[in-house]
């Protein structure tokens, strides 16, 4: 497959996901292959597993237990490849390698916590953790409509707050298995000073001291006092995400009622300051595709963000497992067009997602923004 074909296939998989027949789960379990439907709660896109194309391109594929969502089905495993079948075209859509869970998921930390409750491996080698699993917006009824951060706490899959020592121990275990070459740290927003940004500082210092070669990514909400961004950098963060998710102000109020209190110009001040502190191509913002039309205003906003030097991490919004979808499924051809445009705009403005040192953009599991950049060369 050439770069454009990879972009096309990955975009379709990100939008549609794949039907996984429950009988197949049992069948493979008997062969020791833990297939499962993925995370049911937590930060970031849920309910999926990581797969690799033959060229090692990573994709986070939603796995559905009913085939109403998608015409793609997971088929038999031939050698190391799972076949993805297209029921409409009646052919093999792609052949993918399942990324297995790391062995440390069966181990505990020295204070007796299951390591998989402290951090998980996203993709092949990105250690990801939610350092604080609660969010002030959930408490006041203004949670983002697509967010599942507290669900994994409610279903016992994680703990509320991770300590620097626990995270360093789990990172050591992941590094030993070659399953950690960078890390994503995220957190719920808190009512404290700095909205929880300071909770990162001790963790960053500990991880940087114990594992100096592992680049670290943090995600925050825009802050009035930009000094916090400097503190995160000096504590050891290498890249940062400040996520706007939606451009349209009315839709921000609808889908992210709490975060919509943060004015747009505060995002811009944080983005430009973060670029000064972290450097070129080290600042990203999540754009959740499917919540708003890709109309002229959207495109203007997208180009503006890219012109500031920010990487637009465009990822299709994904329903939370066991919850009613908040919007209809996104047509993948529309998203493909958007990726092509974003790739061209990044080229025109000298923004290069391939240079992002740590975190979501480097991992790339949930977005085809890097493939778009490569495909428009
Ligand atoms: S891009 Fe990678 S690190 Fe980020 S949420 Fe997706 S899988 Fe996790």
Query: For the segment 166-199, what is each residue's pLDDT rounded down to a tens digit?
Result: 999 999 999 999 999 999 999 999 988 889 899 9
Q: Is the CB of 124 under 6 A from ligand 1?
A: no
Find out whether the beta carbon of 366 lies less than 6 Å from any atom of ligand 1: yes
Q: Atom of ligand 1 at shortest distance to CA of 128? A: 3
Indicate if ligand 1 lies below 6 Å from the C-beta of 363: yes
Model pLDDT for residues 295-337, shown as the tens digit of each residue: 999 999 999 999 999 999 999 999 887 778 889 889 999 999 9
- Report the separation in Å between the CA atom of 362 and the middle of ligand 1, taken as the mean of its atom positions: 9
Atom of ligand 1 at shortest distance to CA of 359?
3
Nearest Cα neighbor of 214 from 285, 121, 131 is: 121
Ligand 1 near 185 CB (within 6 A): no
Query: For residue 43, which atom of ligand 1 is closest to its CA?
Result: 5
Beta carbon of 184 within 6 Å of any ligand 1 atom: yes
Q: How far is the CA of 367 from the centre of ligand 1 (A)?
A: 8
The answer to whether the CB of 123 is under 6 A from ligand 1 is: yes
129: which strand partners? Answer: 185
102: DSSP letter: P
Q: Is the CB of 128 under 6 A from ligand 1?
A: yes
CA–centroid distance, 306 to ligand 1, in Å, is: 21
For residue 120, what pLDDT is reported? 96
**Ligand 1 mean position to 364 CA, how many Å?**
6
From 119, 120, 126, the mutation candidate for ligand 1 (largest count of ligand atoms within 8 A of CB) is 126
Q: Cβ(316) to ligand 1 under 6 A?
A: no
Identify which of 43, 45, 146, 183 to mutate to test ligand 1's pocket (most ligand atoms within 8 A of the CB).
45
* Residue nearest atom 6 in ligand 1 by C-alpha distance: 366
224 — pLDDT class (breaks 50, 70, 90)? very high
Alpha carbon nearest to ligand 1 atom 5, residue: 44
pLDDT per residue as tens digits for the range 47-78: 789 999 999 999 999 999 888 889 999 998 99
pLDDT at 31: 81
pLDDT confidence tier of residue 100, bands split at 50, 70 and 90: very high
Ligand 1: does its nearest atom lie under 6 Å from the Cβ of 44? yes
Ligand 1, atom nearest to 367 Cα: 1
103-376 maps to which CATH number? 3.20.20.70
- Report CA(130)–ligand 1 centroid distance (Å): 12
pLDDT of residue 218: 98
> Is pLDDT at 372 greater than 80 in this prediction?
yes
pLDDT at 46: 72
Task: Give yes or no for residue 102 CB within 6 A of ligand 1.
Answer: no
Reported for 156-159, long-range contacts at CB under 8 A and 24+ positions apart, including other chains, are 157/39, 157/40, 157/41, 157/42, 157/116, 157/117, 158/42, 158/117, 158/118, 158/130, 158/133, 159/113, 159/117, 159/118, 159/133
Distance, CA 40 to ligand 1 centroid (Å)? Answer: 15
Split at pLDDT 50, 70, 90, the class of 37 is confident
Q: Please write the tens of the pLDDT for every residue from 329-370.
A: 899 999 999 999 999 999 999 999 999 999 999 999 999 999
C-alpha separations of 42 from 156, 334, 339 in Å = 11, 28, 26
Distance linking the first and last C-alpha atoms of the chain:
16
pLDDT at 98 (0 to 100): 95
For 277-296, the pLDDT digits (tens) are 999 999 999 999 999 999 99
User: Is the CB of 341 within 6 Å of ligand 1?
Assistant: no
Alpha-carbon separation of residue 11 from 115, 129, 143, 330 (angstroms) = 32, 25, 28, 11
DSSP E strand stretches across the chain:
18-19, 48-52, 58-64, 72-78, 81-86, 91-98, 120-122, 126-130, 182-186, 216-220, 239-242, 283-289, 311-316
Domain borders along the chain are: 3-98, 103-376
pLDDT at 319: 83
Q: 234-288: per-residue pLDDT in tens?
A: 999 999 999 999 999 999 999 999 999 999 999 999 999 999 999 999 999 999 9
pLDDT at 29 over 90: no
């Amino acid at each position: 497959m050439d770069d454009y074909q990879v972009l096309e296939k990955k975009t379709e998989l990100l939008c549609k996901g794949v039907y996984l027949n429950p009988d197949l789960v049992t069948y493979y379990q008997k062969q020791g292959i833990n297939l499962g439907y993925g995370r049911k709660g937590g930060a970031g896109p849920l309910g999926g597993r990581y797969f690799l194309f033959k060229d090692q391109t990573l994709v986070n594929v939603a796995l559905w237990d009913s085939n109403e969502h998608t015409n793609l089905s997971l088929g038999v495993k031939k050698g190391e490849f799972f076949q993805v079948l297209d029921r409409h075209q009646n052919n093999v859509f792609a052949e993918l390698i399942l990324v297995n869970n790391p062995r440390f998921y069966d181990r505990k930390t020295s204070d007796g916590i299951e390591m998989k409750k402290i951090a998980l491996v996203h993709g092949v080698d990105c250690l990801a953790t939610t350092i604080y699993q609660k969010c002030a917006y959930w408490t006041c009824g203004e949670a983002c409509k697509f967010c599942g951060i507290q669900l994994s706490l409610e279903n016992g899959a994680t703990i509320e707050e991770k300590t620097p020592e626990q995270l360093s121990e789990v990172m050591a275990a992941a590094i030993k298995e070659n399953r950690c070459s960078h890390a994503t740290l995220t957190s719920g927003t808190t009512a404290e000073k700095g909205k929880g940004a300071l909770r990162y500082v001790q963790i960053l210092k500990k991880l940087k001291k114990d594992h100096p070669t592992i680049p670290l990514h943090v995600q925050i909400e825009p802050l009035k006092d930009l000094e916090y961004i400097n503190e995160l950098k000096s504590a050891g963060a290498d890249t940062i995400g400040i996520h706007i998710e939606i451009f349209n102000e009315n839709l921000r109020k609808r889908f992210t009622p709490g975060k919509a209190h943060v004015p747009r110009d505060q995002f811009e001040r944080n983005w430009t300051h973060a670029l000064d502190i972290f450097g070129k191509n080290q600042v990203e913002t999540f754009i959740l595709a499917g919540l708003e039309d890709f109309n002229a205003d959207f495109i203007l906003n997208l180009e503006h963000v890219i012109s500031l030097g920010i990487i637009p991490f465009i990822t299709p919004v994904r329903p939370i497992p066991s919850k009613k979808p908040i919007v209809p499924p996104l047509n993948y051809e529309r998203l493909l067009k958007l990726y092509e445009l974003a790739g061209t705009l990044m080229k025109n403005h000298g923004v290069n997602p391939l240079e992002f040192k740590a975190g979501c953009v480097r991992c790339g599991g949930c977005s085809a923004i890097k493939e778009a950049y490569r495909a428009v060369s």
